């Protein structure tokens, strides 16, 4: 009996020792695997890239050094406890508004997605060339200045500073803003539609169009500035996109011909034909709803509205976002900045040729539809009173219906009134002016 108990205890001890060794071995293997995974993710190279704080500090210093060429303003907005501020730098030598309105106007936005650091570096490079602290190789500066004299250029160096801070804190794949909304899905054209492969981490459109302070700021900027050219600069691939993003449809007529020839010339001279060209929705392989470029073209009426993708590493893992969206070695980093800064200054030369040197004055009343007006009206009410989205959508549908019925009734009443007057004139007896 004692022998049996002894054998049982021995077997139990051996089993426990074996289990502990096995567990330690598994944990060590998992730790090694975790370390390999961590090591396979490329960190931000701060020897090449500036932090958001340093980059904006350099831009502010640049503006202070060149007040004759550059001015700067900071626009702020807030909604339900979440606020944002966006810096806008303007290049234009004339100070009077009437002089600016006679020039061609260009609006450029960078850093809409936090993880795309290379785009904000390009913004700084373009501003440095505009200030003439940096020069384009093989470019006649006098000839370039004569082109720039015809333009007013507004640059948004970092549209999403709150999202950028999340990236710098370690979430290298974050593209959304500080409260998890994709700013390039938060605009009102075809807002909120979700495809079958919808990923809320990548494409969260927010609770309503323009629910985000960043989008509100950019909308007000675009409507007040009325640009002739809009470029939303991203990274992830090399491409030159025109509207539309939300459907597999390109523009037609003169607009298509003008935009396509414009992009083909850019592709030929600066991409060496390697950049993808076409509509965003027809070229990428998926539809994007509620994008800035579609809004700029459809609502603001920007004659030439584009999305540029300036870099992408197709060999990078889907989890290695810094490498996927940003060049990681000095040679590639400098090549991207040199090539694309030259591209933008070629664009500055092409815009007067495409649109004409005399800037047409856009009439906003003709560009904003009743649906867009009501979207904005209800959005303001929603922000102020916190209505539920379902109630707002129902109210918007009812107001649109009543407005259209009012228009139809007015036309019918006018028609009936005119018909009655005409009938009355025809049936009135003729009275001679002279006695018979």
Give the C-alpha separation, 325 to 327, whole Å: 7
Q: Which of 116, 273, 309, 398 is catalytic?
A: 309
Q: Are 273 and 267 in contact (CB under 8 A)?
A: yes
Give the sign of the dihedral formed by CA 211, CA 212, CA 213, CA 218: negative
Q: What secondary structure does DSSP assign to 204-257, as a single string?
A: ---SSTT-SHHHHHHHHHHHHH--SEEEEEE-SEEEEEES-SSSS----HHHHH
Helix (H, G, I), strand (E, B) or coil at 87: strand
Residue 214 appears among annotated catalytic residues: no
Closest CA relative to residue 325, chosen from 45, 56, 34:
45
The DSSP call for residue 307 is: E
Q: Collapsing DSSP states into helix, strand and coil, what is residue 312?
A: coil
User: Residues, the chain, total?
Assistant: 436
8 Å CB contact between 102 and 34: no
Cα separation, 143 vs 129, in Å, equals 14
Q: 310 Cβ partners below 8 Å, 6+ apart?
A: 118, 119, 122, 233, 234, 235, 238, 336, 340
Count of C-beta atoms within a 10 Å radius of residue 353: 10
Catalytic (active-site) positions: 309
């Amino acid at each position: 009996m004692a022998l049996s108990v002894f054998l049982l205890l021995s077997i139990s001890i051996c089993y426990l020792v074996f289990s502990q060794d096995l567990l330690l071995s598994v944990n060590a293997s998992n730790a090694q695997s975790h370390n390999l995974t961590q090591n396979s993710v490329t960190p931000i190279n701060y020897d090449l890239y500036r932090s958001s704080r340093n980059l904006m500090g350099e831009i502010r210093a640049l503006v202070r050094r060149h007040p004759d060429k550059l001015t700067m303003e900071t626009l702020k907005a807030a909604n339900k406890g979440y606020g944002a501020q966006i810096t806008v730098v303007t290049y234009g030598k004339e100070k009077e508004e009437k002089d600016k309105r006679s020039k061609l106007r260009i609006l450029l936005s960078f850093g809409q997605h936090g993880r795309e650091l290379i785009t904000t570096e390009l913004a700084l490079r373009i501003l440095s060339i505009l200030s003439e602290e940096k020069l384009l190789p093989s470019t006649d500066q006098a000839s370039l200045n004569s082109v720039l004299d015809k333009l007013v250029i507004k640059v948004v160096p970092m549209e999403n500073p709150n999202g950028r801070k999340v990236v710098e804190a370690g979430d290298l794949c974050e593209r959304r803003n500080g409260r998890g909304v994709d700013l390039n899905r938060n605009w009102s054209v075809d807002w909120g539609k979700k495809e079958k492969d919808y990923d809320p981490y990548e494409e969260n459109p927010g609770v309503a169009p323009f629910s985000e302070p960043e989008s509100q700021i950019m909308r007000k900027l675009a409507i007040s500035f009325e640009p002739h050219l809009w470029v939303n600069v991203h990274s992830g691939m090399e491409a030159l996109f025109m509207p539309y993003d939300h459907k597999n449809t390109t523009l037609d007529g003169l607009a298509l011909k003008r935009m396509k020839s414009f992009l083909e010339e850019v592709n030929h001279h600066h991409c060496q034909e390697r950049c993808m060209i076409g509509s965003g929705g027809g070229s990428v392989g998926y539809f994007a709803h509620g994008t800035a470029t579609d809004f700029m073209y459809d609502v603001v009426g920007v004659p030439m509205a584009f999305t540029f993708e300036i870099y992408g590493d197709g060999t990078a893992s889907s989890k290695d976002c810094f490498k996927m969206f940003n060049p990681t070695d000095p040679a590639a980093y400098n090549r991207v900045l040199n090539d694309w800064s030259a591209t933008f200054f070629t664009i500055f030369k092409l815009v007067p040729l495409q649109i004409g040197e005399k800037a047409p004055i856009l009439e906003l009343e003709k560009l904003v539809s009743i649906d867009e007006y009501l979207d904005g009206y209800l959005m303001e009410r929603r922000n102020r009173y916190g209505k539920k989205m379902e109630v707002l959508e129902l109210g918007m549908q009812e107001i649109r219906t009543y407005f259209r019925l009012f228009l139809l009734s007015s036309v019918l009443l006018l028609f009936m009134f005119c018909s009655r007057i005409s009938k009355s004139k025809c049936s009135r007896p003729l009275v001679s002016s002279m006695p018979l």
